[in-house]
A and B are shown apart, each in its own frame.
Chain A
């Protein structure tokens, strides 16, 4: 079953009276993970992890399976307790937020629904608890394209429809912060495009949007910033555009000599069909090192890698924290 028959997610899915329903002070919606460590038994899932997620930006959260992304999000949302460190939203722990539903919209468990309950009732339960009028439920069901299926059991929904329902739940309180774990899972291409529009629109209006995804090409189109973790540790963070530029393409007739020279001073050198892609060293230093080594260069230029290429580089063994600060 697919969700081809469901209308697109409306990019303006935010409900009327938004301005009156919440405070719009972007600085209060900074997400901060500060030296967080989480262990399960003898296994360290997240280790001394620190990063910030800025308002008015879409921040992608990347890492291989089991890297600790979902655990980090759960710690941020007080669904899991950190062994060390703190995770705050606008300076407060999630549990201390005065009105969590109107502050943070969350999609973290794709199948957190009772299969025998209707989509409408799922949202009404949340609306009941949060004191949100049922009009908002109807509005969101319409906006995520589930109005027709609202009285069907969620167990009969496709994965895409469940994602839409999860997004509707996240948007219920019209919150200025969105924390979404794999929101594009199961969505058809049109749904993904509309989701992208929605999140871009949210960030453009000052919202904090924090999205984990394994769909690298999707995040490449969506994210302003990325945070990459591997084995629970920070690999890199910063503006995606800067990170994509944080490599240098070098063409030379003496690649082996240059590679040895650059690697000896901490550079990460990857041979490609176009030449050597060098990370971890500024472009000026690469030129100077080549000059001192007597290596003739035929090209020395910034190299914009694809997110997939960068991701594979970031998450390969030994790359933990090697790129920290490269974007600055």
Chain B
């Protein structure tokens, strides 16, 4: 089986159920919430300074952290359901070399996560851009700034999906995998920071704001590498687990 065929089959798996539409609905809802916040939201003092400058608007539109979380859930469900429904059996019968089969699955799930991140950021940017005329402020973020926000979100989506996929392969149960992704992306990072304050610059939320151009705690290259590490550790663990386990 060629690699491209395996990835194409995995992409067809992702697109042949209603799951992508459910996630798209969530993205639309988040974009709508942002638009509502722009039109009706205020700061504590009743002003709208949270959209007053280009940096403020970019910070509002920076979707990468959301993308990583949403794509994490997407990846966890997409992979864990394969075991829950038993569809991993025909997958491993078509490609019994599990490294290739799971590698293709992780690749397609990461692509799906990137698409979710891209679409989520694009919808948010569009929603904010459409809502700003209803306020006293205009759209101030440059084209380059918008491109970076969207690109960062796509990268975060890919990383989140890969992280979720790894947890899904490890846990093999959709509920457990979702819980695992939430623990990895929401619960664990603040705990790690509590244990070591220096780790604050290396948790996903911080790294995503760096890649989005909102903050600069670490270099962009280092942030991207650290995000990749957050994704690769569970992915490699999942891959190793799949090699060793029976399909029962």
Give A residues with C-beta under 8 Å from B: 74, 77-81, 94-95, 97, 100-101, 104, 106, 108-109, 111-118, 121, 124-126, 128-131, 169
Q: Could you tell me the distance between the alpha carbons of A112 and B85 in the complex, rounded to whole angstroms?
A: 6
Known contacts A97-B96, A129-B91; 12 additional CB pairs below 8 A are A74-B247, A80-B246, A109-B89, A112-B86, A114-B81, A114-B85, A116-B18, A121-B16, A126-B9, A126-B90, A129-B95, A131-B5
- Closest B residue to A114 by beta carbon equals B85
Across the interface, do A114 and B93 meet the contact criterion of CB distance under 8 Å? no
Q: Known contacts A114-B87, A117-B17; is A128 also within 8 Å of B97 by CB?
A: no
Q: B69-102 vs A: 1/0 string, CB under 8 Å?
A: 0000000000001000111011111111100000
Chain B nearest CB, measured from A150 CB (Å)? 13
Residues of A within 8 A of B89 (CB): 79, 108-109, 112
Q: Which residues from chain B sit less than 8 Å from chain A, CB to CB?
A: 1-2, 5-6, 8-9, 12-13, 16-19, 81, 85-87, 89-97, 246-248
Q: In the complex, how many angstroms separate the beta carbon of B135 from the nearest chain A beta carbon?
A: 42
Compute how far the CA of A81 lies from the CA of B18 in the bound complex, rounded to whole angstroms. 34
How distant is the Cα of A109 from the Cα of B85 in the complex, in angstroms?
Answer: 10
Give Cα A218 to B67, complex, Å: 55
- Pick from A104, A124, A131: contact of B2, CB under 8 Å: A131
Are B18 and A130 within 8 A (Cβ)?
no
Q: How many A-B residue pairs have CB under 8 A?
A: 86
Contact A100 B93, beta carbon cutoff 8 Å: yes
Q: Are B87 and A112 in contact (CB under 8 A)?
A: yes
User: Shortest CB–CB separation between residue B196 and chain A, in angstroms?
Assistant: 39
- Report how far A300 CA is from B86 CA in the complex, Å: 53
Known: A80-B246, A125-B13. A130 touches B85 (CB 8 A): no
Interface centre among B6, B92, B94 (most CB of A within 10 A): B94
Provide the residues of chain B in CB contact with A114, threshold 8 Å.
Answer: 13, 16-17, 81, 85, 87
